[in-house]
Structure 1
Amino acid sequence: MKLGTIRLNGKPTVIARLDDNTAVAVPVHDMEDLITAGNAGLDKAATAIAAAREGKAAVIALDGNTDWMAPNPKASKILGCAVNNNNLNKNAFKPMKSPMFFTKARSALTGHNKPIVILPRHGRSIPEPEPVVVFSKLAKDVPEDRIMDHVFGYTLTNDITASGIKFSEDSIALNMDPKFTAPHHFAWREKFGAEDNYLYFVYHSRSKAADTFAAMGPWLTTKDEIANPNNLMMRGYVDGEMYCEDSTANYHFSVERVLAEANIWFTMEPGDCVHCGTASKGTEKFPKGNIGTFLADYKNTEVEVEGLGRLFNTIDNRK
């Protein structure tokens, strides 16, 4: 089953997909209401679909005028797993010990067909196509072998990253007096001689969580439709041309490992979102993949994930 959220007559409305061009409204307050209701919520969606197909419920046309929102616009947490792709991680000085996370603000969410806004100070900004796991119920310290029991389904995101501002305004290198350093400060990187006492800090809020930097949707696909989240094709496009094609099989940490690590540090609540790793592998025309694709050079960008659909966004380059 595929579910979404649109504004219908100005009101956020949960819909269930009938086909590529039509849907039906589901009688719930919002997506979190449906998710927390469990099987009863899914039953409401199934009943609405059946009623629409029998001509007993209004059918909603999905077209260029549809006002899409993110599938769950009220997610309390949006987590991303950084560098979780072997194509990127192969360049690491030392392999990652565990999944590394950053957060996106709820205000960063935007929907299908909506603009992604690149401000001048964002500088070079790149797309990152990836699937998103949506939690069904509270999860805290749930082990890896049971974490999927807490999953409602999957959507997809374009995890926009403004590397320009990240490295020009949100990074700092401090040449510290050795008396203020400790071995763990340098264990993760190569140290260039005894005089190299630089500590490096990078802050991700503006580069990752700015408004419109969490495009999601259009659909939230229920868990039963995806047999193996660790073997999904991911593709990214700019102006209709594919710049990367990759698979979740190329993740450094599995989806289950990412989710289990997340719920050690954060209490995951119904509707919370975790995107588990970017597609990175380039194509013949775009050999650098996503890291060499700068959104300001294009008019639109798309994300496609096997079984989950295709997300389209225009690019509003504020010069």
Structure 2
Amino acid sequence: MCRFEHQGAERSGIVLNETVVDLHWAAPELAERFAPGDTRTLLTLGGEALAELEAIARAAPAEARQPLGDVSLLAPIADPSKILCSWVNYLNPAMAKLPDQPVFFSKFDSAITGPTSDIILPRIAGDIVVEPEMTAIIGKRGRHIAEQDALSHVAGYTIVNDVTAFSHRLQVIVGSPGPYAMAKTFDSFAPSGPWITTRDEIADPHDLEVRQYLNGDLRTSANTSEAVFKLPKLISYLSGFFELRPGDMILTGSPPPNAGKPEFLKAGDRVRIEIEGLGHIESGVVEETA
């Protein structure tokens, strides 16, 4: 499931065999229920409607299909009601003690960019780092969700680069460890995509290889099995605070880089993140000019 731009128009599609099926071409009657590119509303249609759309997409005529290379992929969800990010969810040698329960911070949707968009180095911040994260997309509303039921609320998975300005972490500002949203949510600090891989396509979200490259060199190599708090725990915990809604994004944490410490980005760098079964995203790095 993806958002894409073709001939100047934003569209919703399903990726099949290196092609993108335009849902508003392939299933006009069902597609009347959501606007092109409106993934949040699309997810609210529910599992049966989404399965019907996928079946229609597989049988779609040639005029409803575009080669994947002929379209520009956009962030799978542009306007989630919540972007919830798990903090310190992988063993990190820099931490003296891991939390006893999940800790979260949030990003704003203005940070979201597409899978090939540039990371912009802010004028007022420095020491910018990359954090590759397997991300769950909620597909079904829920409150006080039991752990054993948690994955049934997931529509699918995508990749998010949780870009962070170390210059604005609490450790720097007040000398206390902890997440700090303003360090996380500058414009362009959430490259995401390339699409939503549906839940049925991933046998176990906690058995996926994660790789992050900087200028072609491997910098992070890990597996989502290393997460301290697994996704069912994260979903159950969050749903005790508020209702989770279709389109909400849950970033499940970033494994530490192979060298132990991350490298700071500079203009001209290229960052690539690959997660097994989910595809890859790749960003250039540029200075803020506006």
TM-score, normalized by the shorter chain, greater than 0.5: yes
Matched, 1:221 2:197: yes
Q: What residue in structure 2 maps to residue 49 of structure 1?
A: 58
The answer to whether the 8 A contact 1:109-1:212 is kept is yes
Query: 3-state SS of the aligned residue for 2:76?
Result: coil
Aligned-residue offset at 1:281: 4.1
Select the residue among 77, 84, 87 that pairs with 2:82.
77
Query: 3-state SS of the aligned residue for 2:59?
Result: helix
Work out the CA distance in 2 between the residues paired with 1:73 and 1:318: 22
Aligned-residue offset at 1:203: 6.3
Q: Deviations over 1:148-189 (max 9, x none)?
A: 111111011111011023258x7225xxxxxxxxxxxxxxxx
The answer to whether the 8 A contact 2:272-2:280 is kept is yes
Aligned-residue offset at 1:102: 0.6
Work out the CA distance in 2 between the residues paired with 1:172 and 1:272: 31
Work out the CA distance in 1 between the residues paired with 2:169 and 2:97: 22
Work out the CA distance in 2 between the residues paired with 1:264 and 1:204: 22
Q: What residue in structure 1 maps to residue 67 of structure 2?
A: 61
Residue type of the alignment partner of 1:4:
C
Paired-residue identity, % = 29
Residue type of the alignment partner of 1:137:
K
Q: What residue in structure 1 maps to residue 23 of structure 2?
A: 26
Q: What residue in structure 2 maps to residue 235 of structure 1?
A: 211
Work out the CA distance in 2 between the residues paired with 1:281 and 1:127: 9
Residue type of the alignment partner of 2:81:
S
Q: What residue in structure 2 maps to residue 251 of structure 1?
A: 227
Q: What residue in structure 2 maps to residue 180 of structure 1?
A: none
Work out the CA distance in 2 between the residues paired with 1:252 and 1:16: 33
Work out the CA distance in 2 between the residues paired with 1:260 and 1:91: 28
1:284-295 equivalence runs, <5 A: 287-288=259-260, 291-295=261-265
Q: Deviations over 1:206-265 (max 9, x none)?
A: 210111111110110000011111111101011222111001111111121111111112
Q: What residue in structure 2 maps to residue 193 of structure 1?
A: none
Select the residue among 268, 272, 279 that pairs with 1:302.
272
The answer to whether the 8 A contact 2:170-2:179 is kept is no
Work out the CA distance in 1 between the residues paired with 2:264 and 2:96: 26
Q: Deviations over 1:292-315 (max 9, x none)?
A: 221216521111101000111111
Work out the CA distance in 1 between the residues paired with 2:56 and 2:274: 29
Query: 3-state SS of the aligned residue for 1:266?
Result: coil
Residue type of the alignment partner of 1:76:
S
Pair 1:12–1:207, CA change in 2 (3 A) = same
Query: 3-state SS of the aligned residue for 2:186?
Result: coil
Unaligned 5+ runs, structure 1: 174-199
Unaligned 5+ runs, structure 2: 25-30
Aligned length: 277
The answer to whether the 8 A contact 1:77-1:273 is kept is yes
Pair 1:100–1:24, CA change in 2 (3 A) = same
The answer to whether the 8 A contact 1:171-1:201 is kept is no
The answer to whether the 8 A contact 2:115-2:282 is kept is yes
Query: 3-state SS of the aligned residue for 2:255?
Result: coil
Q: Deviations over 1:54-97 (max 9, x none)?
A: x3x3321323x6332210112111111001002x1x55333311
Residue type of the alignment partner of 1:98:
Q
Work out the CA distance in 2 between the residues paired with 1:121 and 1:217: 27
Query: 3-state SS of the aligned residue for 2:169?
Result: helix
> TM-score scaled by structure 1?
0.81
Work out the CA distance in 1 between the residues paired with 2:23 and 2:157: 19
The answer to whether the 8 A contact 1:84-1:99 is kept is yes
Residue type of the alignment partner of 1:24:
V
Matched, 1:265 2:241: yes
Q: What residue in structure 2 maps to residue 190 of structure 1?
A: none
Structure of greater Rg: 1
Q: What is the alpha-carbon root mean square deviation over aligned residues?
A: 2.0
Work out the CA distance in 1 between the residues paired with 2:152 and 2:228: 22
